[in-house]
Structure 1
Amino acid sequence: MVKLVLLHKAASIYDDELDVAYDFPRSYLKAVEQAVGDWIIYYKPVKAGPRGYFAVAKISDVIPKPGVEGRYLAMIEPGSYLPFDRDVPRLLDGRPLETALSDQEGSPLRGGAIQLAVRRLPDSDFARIVDLGLPQDLERIEATRYGPQIRTFDDEPLIFQRPVLERLTRRKYREVAFSRKVREAYGYRCAMSGLQLRNGGGRPEVQAAHIRPVERDGSDSVRNGLALSGTLHWMFDRGLISVANDNETILVSKNKVPGDVIDRLIRPGGKLLKPDNPHCMPHPENLRWHRENVFGQVPFDGGSPWQ
């Protein structure tokens, strides 16, 4: 197995769905096949924007792309995709983070490997890039973001130098990383009420909801998330509300939710609040899954936060 950097351009001819599959030509087949079962880092080139390295994922399989000769799909292991908390530039202090892209003095090389869409990545380079994009102490950063954290004896120490791969598979860490990106994408406003509520210490009350749960093969992509208030998050998970196939109209199970509750909780017009960045919009396939598998299908015992 081998780790890779995979180049991604949003407007290219390749149909990447980064948390599901990476589309690539036959010329990279051998290299990608060698990475099956290992981790990759996504990279956006400078010419397509200043983003740099921006996410990590794990390849589970490689298959021919249906209906397209000479193209293949690197299938992403469900639950492995995780966007970086902060984008990582290609150069740090003028030196490439990929050692293969620098000369003996550490200066950037030109042409050659830097132009490849698929590049081998040594474990040490992988760990360094991940550490920059997903800090070891991300949980502490979030816990103390709006004031000092109150610790109890049962709390796990927040500062613990975990190996990179252990951190990437640790659910608690991933939940913090997912929540930070989703809430930021929506400007800390609830996507269904439009409200931006904060407690006395300035902490946003909005939560990050998975549209398709991780335990049902959902990902930690921002496009599988909605920023929702606590009550609307509860309703969404129980199938009392969803989003229509136009990907913006809010659906409500009106035989289970009182009309006055709808009037109080849902923003006027009944449309989703959209992120400023179109690349953070909920993916239509995730919304379809929620409509077909959750909306109106979860047993409801009548207990609710508005009663």
Structure 2
Amino acid sequence: MAKLVLLHRADSIYDDEPDVVYDFPRQYLKAMQEAVGDWVIYYEPVKAGPRGYFAVARIDEIIPKPGVEGRYLALIAPGSFLPFDREVPRLIDGRPLEASLTGPDGGPVTGGLAQSAVRRLSEADFARIVNLGLPADLEAREATRYGASAGGLAEHAAPFERPVIERLTRRAYRDVAFRRKVREAYGYRCAMSGLMLRNGGGRPEVQAAHIRPVEHGGSDSVRNGLALSGTLHWMFDRGLISVAEDCETILVSRNKVPGEVIDRLLIPGGRLLKPRDPRHAPHPANLRWHRENVFGQISAEGPAPWH
């Protein structure tokens, strides 16, 4: 197996969806085949945008691209994609993070490998980049972010340094990373009410909802998330509300939700509030899955939170 850096542009003309599939030509087939079962880091070229290294995922399988000679698709292992908490720049103090892109003087090399869409990555460089983008102490940072103590942690105790791969596969860590990215993408506002609520300590009350649950093949991509208030999150998970095919109109199961509740909870006009960065907007395929598999189909057991 081998770890790789994969170049991805948000405006790519290829069938790339970082949490689902990566489209590449035959010249990279050998390296991609070596990486099956292993992890890759996504990188956005400097000329395409400011993100640098921005996410990690694991390659599950390589298949020929249907109907296109000389191109292949790397299928991403379900549940493996995770965006970095903070994008990692190409250079730190003028030095590349990839040893293969570092010249004799410690500065970056140009041309050749630096422009390759697929690059092999050493274990050390992989760990270094992931640790910068997804710090080992992310859970503790989130727990103490608004002045609260990290319950159960001794004061001044150093976080347990988990191995990188163990961290990337641990659900509790991934939930924290997903929550931070989704809430930030929506400016800590509920996408369906438009409200930005904070408790007395300043902690945002908005939650991060998976549109397509992880247990049903959903990813931890921001494009599979919505920032929702606790009540609207409950309603969304139980199929009482969804989003229409236009990716904007909020759908309501009106035979199950009283009209006065709708008027009180939803943003005037009933249209979804979008993230500040359009690259983080909900993916139409995820919203379609929710409409077809959840909306109006799940029994809302227990007392409704608006009662």
TM bracket (short chain): over 0.9
Which residue of 2 is the match for residue 230 of structure 1?
230
What is the letter of the counterpart of residue 229 of structure 2? S
Which residue of 2 is the match for residue 45 of structure 1?
45
**How many correspondences in the alignment?**
305
| 3-state SS in 1 of match to 2:269 | coil
Which residue of 2 is the match for residue 134 of structure 1?
134
Which residue of 1 is the match for residue 275 of structure 2?
275
For the residues of structure 2 that align with 1:301 and 1:85, how far apart are their CA atoms? 35
* Distance change >3 Å, CA 183–CA 158, structure 1 → 2: farther
What is the letter of the counterpart of residue 264 of structure 2? R
* Distance change >3 Å, CA 250–CA 93, structure 1 → 2: same
Partner deviation per Cα, 1:43-68 (whole Å, 9 max, x = no partner): 00111122110000000000111121
**1:169 is the counterpart of 2:158:** no
For the residues of structure 2 that align with 1:83 and 1:152, how far apart are their CA atoms? 27
RMSD: 1.4
Structure 2 counterparts to residues 283-294 of structure 1, below 5 A: 283-294=283-294
Q: Which moved more, 1:211-220 or 1:6-15?
A: 6-15
Which residue of 2 is the match for residue 120 of structure 1?
120
Partner deviation per Cα, 1:82-103 (whole Å, 9 max, x = no partner): 0000010111111110000012
* Distance change >3 Å, CA 260–CA 132, structure 1 → 2: same
Which residue of 1 is the match for residue 249 of structure 2?
249
Shift of 1:148: 2.9
Structure 2 counterparts to residues 102-121 of structure 1, below 5 A: 102-121=102-121
Which residue of 2 is the match for residue 239 of structure 1?
239
Contact 1:95 1:108 in 2 (8 A): yes
Contact 2:218 2:224 in 1 (8 A): yes
What is the letter of the counterpart of residue 202 of structure 1? G
For the residues of structure 1 that align with 2:223 and 2:291, how far apart are their CA atoms? 16
What is the letter of the counterpart of residue 257 of structure 1? V
What is the letter of the counterpart of residue 303 of structure 1? P
Which residue of 2 is the match for residue 69 of structure 1?
69
What is the letter of the counterpart of residue 304 of structure 1? A
For the residues of structure 2 that align with 1:184 and 1:212, how far apart are their CA atoms? 19
Which residue of 1 is the match for residue 18 of structure 2?
18
For the residues of structure 2 that align with 1:105 and 1:178, how far apart are their CA atoms? 38
**1:96 is the counterpart of 2:87:** no
Q: Which moved more, 1:47-56 or 1:122-131?
A: 47-56
Which residue of 1 is the match for residue 210 of structure 2?
210
Identity %: 75
What is the letter of the counterpart of residue 48 of structure 2? A
For the residues of structure 1 that align with 2:158 and 2:200, how far apart are their CA atoms? 24
Contact 1:63 1:72 in 2 (8 A): yes
For the residues of structure 1 that align with 2:84 and 2:301, how far apart are their CA atoms? 39
| 3-state SS in 2 of match to 1:173 | helix
Shift of 1:228: 0.1
* Distance change >3 Å, CA 172–CA 296, structure 1 → 2: same
For the residues of structure 1 that align with 2:267 and 2:233, how far apart are their CA atoms? 15
Unaligned runs of 5+ in 2: none
| 3-state SS in 2 of match to 1:28 | helix
| 3-state SS in 1 of match to 2:197 | coil
Query: Which runs of 4 or more aligned residues in structure 1 lie more than 6 Å from their structure 2 counterparts after TM superposition?
Result: none
| 3-state SS in 2 of match to 1:262 | helix
Q: Which moved more, 1:294-303 or 1:116-125?
A: 294-303
